[in-house]
């Protein structure tokens, strides 16, 4: 049973400040701006502090979809056992996390012919990378963990790299077996060569109801230098992105960034849910480094925790 929530008033009102990292003023939000606490009045219903990679929660490999192979970009997403002798998934000691452990997802340039099943880049030198993607769904349509609404948050540390494209995002369950239409919420997508900027998006793919929203978020701080919190608040009909628990604002109008989900009624009728993905991809829409520096042949991102509040 999906717990019904009505967060319209929560989305629209403001509340007093709470302690967060110091953020310099910018077009999307400011450290002195009034903002809501997206967790206020909600209960923590799920938390993974990544003391381990729990197979009952996370499935590793290509994006769960029947639309295509599930690969994108310049790297092959490894299964949990790794690919081509490389293991991109690890739990590491990290004193900057809440429990002293972190999920680390890495990417490495293999630089030779690969044999990753159904990967289009096995024979292409620029695409001979292995990286990782964890998700709470499988290609057969199984949803290991999913929620219709709530506040979804991950605390993450992104790499500085000419190709890195880490992301924390959500897909709806029916998108796997019925990909003609889907709902995708990209809480954060980061380009490793833009240390103080990231993108957040809502995509409703396919017809009828094709719909896209996007905002570039200038952070005012270098997000490749430490952990930061990236979140989205989803009610039945809309979603609102957050950085460091500060609400993102439209950089053009200054209004709170609240996007209507056009397929909300369909999600409810089909008892659908959102499931999260944590991904380290490599961009294919930028030039390949020439030369590829030795220090750029391997990179990694870290995740302190993933949480859901309802």
Tell me if 58 sits within 8 A of 275, measured CB to CB.
no
**pLDDT number for residue 251:** 84
| Position 258 pLDDT exceeds 60 | yes
On the question of a cis peptide bond just before residue 85, with omega within 30 degrees of 0, the verdict is: no
pLDDT for 167 beyond 70: yes
Strands (E), the chain: 44-48, 59-60, 75-77, 89-93, 101-109, 129-135, 150-157, 164-172, 182-189, 197-205, 211-218, 228-234, 238-243, 246-247, 259-260, 274-282, 298-309
More confident residue, 173 or 32: 173
Using 50, 70 and 90 to split pLDDT, how confident is the model at 11?
very low
Confidence of residue 1 (pLDDT cuts 50, 70, 90): very low
Q: For residue 106, count CB atoms less than 10 angstroms from its CB and return exposed for 0-12, middle for 13-18, buried for 19 or more.
A: buried
**CB-based burial, 202-217: b 16+ in 10 Å, e otherwise:** bbbbbeeeebebebeb
The two tokens of residue 56 are 């009952």
* pLDDT, position 36: 74
pTM of the model: 0.90
Domains of the chain and CATH, by start:
29-309 (2.60.120.200)
Residues 17-21 have a mean pLDDT of 31
pLDDT at 9: 41
Q: How confident is the model at residue 252 (pLDDT cuts 50, 70, 90)?
A: confident
Q: What is the mean pLDDT of residues 181-194?
A: 98
Q: Above 90 in pLDDT, residue 3?
A: no
The stretch 75-91 carries a mean pLDDT of: 98
pLDDT tens digit sequence for 212-243? 999 999 999 999 999 999 999 999 999 999 99
Q: Is residue 32 scored above 90 in pLDDT?
A: no
Least confident of 20-34, 59-73, 137-151: 20-34
> Is a pLDDT exceeding 60 seen at residue 115?
yes
Residue 12, pLDDT > 60, answer no
Closest CA to 130 of 108, 113, 105: 108
- Output the pLDDT for position 55: 98
Pairwise CA distance, residues 153 & 167, whole Å: 12
User: What pLDDT is recorded for position 74?
Assistant: 98
34 band by pLDDT with thresholds 50, 70 and 90: low
Per-residue pLDDT reduced to its tens digit, 55-67 = 999 999 999 999 9
Residues 6+ apart with CB under 8 A from 272: 148, 172, 173, 174, 266
Does the pLDDT value for residue 18 go beyond 70? no
């Amino acid at each position: 049973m999906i717990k019904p929530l009505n967060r319209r008033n929560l989305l629209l009102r403001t509340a007093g400040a709470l302690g967060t990292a110091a953020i310099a003023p910018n077009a999307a939000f400011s450290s002195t701006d009034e903002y809501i606490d997206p967790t206020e009045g909600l209960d923590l219903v799920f938390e993974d502090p990544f003391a381990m990679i729990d197979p009952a929660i996370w499935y590793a490999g290509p994006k769960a979809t029947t639309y295509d192979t599930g690969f994108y970009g310049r790297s092959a997403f490894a299964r949990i056992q790794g690919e081509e002798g490389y293991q991109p998934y690890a739990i590491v000691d990290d004193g900057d996390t809440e429990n002293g452990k972190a999920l680390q997802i890495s990417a490495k340039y293999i630089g030779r012919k690969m044999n990753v099943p159904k990967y289009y880049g096995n024979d292409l030198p620029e695409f001979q990378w292995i990286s990782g993607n964890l998700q709470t769904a499988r290609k057969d349509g199984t949803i290991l963990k999913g929620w219709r609404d709530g506040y979804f948050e991950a605390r993450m540390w992104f790499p500085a790299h000419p190709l890195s494209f880490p992301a924390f995002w959500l897909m709806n369950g029916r998108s796997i077996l019925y990909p003609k239409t889907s709902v995708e919420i990209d809480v954060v997508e980061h380009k490793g060569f833009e240390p103080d900027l990231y993108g957040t998006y809502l995509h409703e793919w396919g017809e009828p109801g094709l719909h896209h929203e996007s905002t570039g978020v200038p952070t005012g701080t270098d997000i490749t230098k430490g952990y930061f919190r990236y979140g989205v608040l989803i009610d039945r009909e809309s979603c609102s992105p957050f950085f460091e628990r500060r609400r993102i604002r439209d950089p053009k109008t200054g209004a709170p960034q609240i996007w209507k989900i056009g397929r909300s009624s369909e999600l409810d009728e089909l008892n659908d849910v959102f499931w999260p993905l944590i991904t380290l991809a490599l961009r294919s829409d930028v030039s390949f480094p020439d030369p590829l520096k030795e220090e750029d042949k391997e990179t990694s991102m870290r995740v302190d925790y993933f949480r859901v509040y309802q």
